[in-house]
Amino acid sequence: MEPNYRFRDPTLAQLALTHRSVGKPNNERLEFLGDALLGAIVAEMLYEAHPRASEGELSRLRAQLVNGQALAVVARELDLGDGLKLGPGELKSGGFRRDSILADAFEAMVAAVYQDGGFDACREFVRGLFAERIAALRRSSKDAKTRLQEWLQAKGLPLPHYELVASHGEDHAKTFEVSCSIGEPIAFTAEAHGGSRRAAEQDAAEAVLNQLLEQQRDA
């Protein structure tokens, strides 16, 4: 994959690929800025692609796209490892292949594009790299209530019960509190609130599913 941006100031791209093991200047400050830019642009894309998703669902999807392992994959597609500047110790230990170093370099590169061409150029750069990823995620993703129901059915457990606990506020700005509970033999309950009953149910289902998965990991 070729990066969809050509730098006017190549020294910014070089700085983005300079690891702290080299000394100063390095890409740590650019990485800080790039992390925020990337999170905002990917959040915007997910908001557009999933108009009915709850805040919890959008956060989960974003975490799938911008975690270190996922960003290292993007960095490899852009061959960023080939241009990394590393100190002797990192070179010897194969730092150019390490997920964390590659992910940091990609975040720094996002910020370098922003510094070189402005926000619109940065936004276009990120959207070009993540459009197909988000489309694929959209095709494969299921909402929290569906995932919880399928998990329970697969284990022969009772289906969840959703109950409206309370609602607050004016009609145009109501907040709904909903509980999601699973009966015996596991007996889990979680509550969540949202701007609609459906959104609150989705977040409550997500919370119960996370409890169940955590219990499964600890077992």
pLDDT tens-digit profile of 23-33?
A: 999 999 999 99
In the block, tokens 């619109």 appear at 120
Instruction: Look up 57 and say whether it is catalytic.
Output: no
Domain 144-218: top CATH class: alpha beta
Q: Binding residue per annotation — 104?
A: yes
Assigned token pair, 67: 């975690």
Q: What is the pLDDT of residues 141-187, one digit of tens each?
A: 668 888 899 889 988 888 999 999 999 888 777 899 999 999 887 78
- Return residue ranges of the chain for CATH 1.10.1520.10: 10-140
pLDDT at residue 18 greater than cutoff 90: yes
Q: Binding residue per annotation — 170?
A: no
pTM of the complete model: 0.64
Torsion (CA) 132, 141, 105, 131 in degrees, nearest 10? 20
The second-level CATH assignment, the architecture, of 10-140 is Orthogonal Bundle (1.10)
Task: Identify whether the C-beta of residue 33 lies closer than 8 Å to the C-beta of residue 126.
Answer: no
- Return residue ranges of the chain for CATH 3.30.160.20: 144-218
Q: Binding residue per annotation — 90?
A: no
pLDDT at residue 214 greater than cutoff 90: no
CA distances from 174 to 30, 56, 104 (A): 41, 18, 41
Q: What confidence tier does 1 reach under pLDDT thresholds 50, 70, 90?
A: very low
Instruction: Look up 132 and say whether it is catalytic.
Output: no
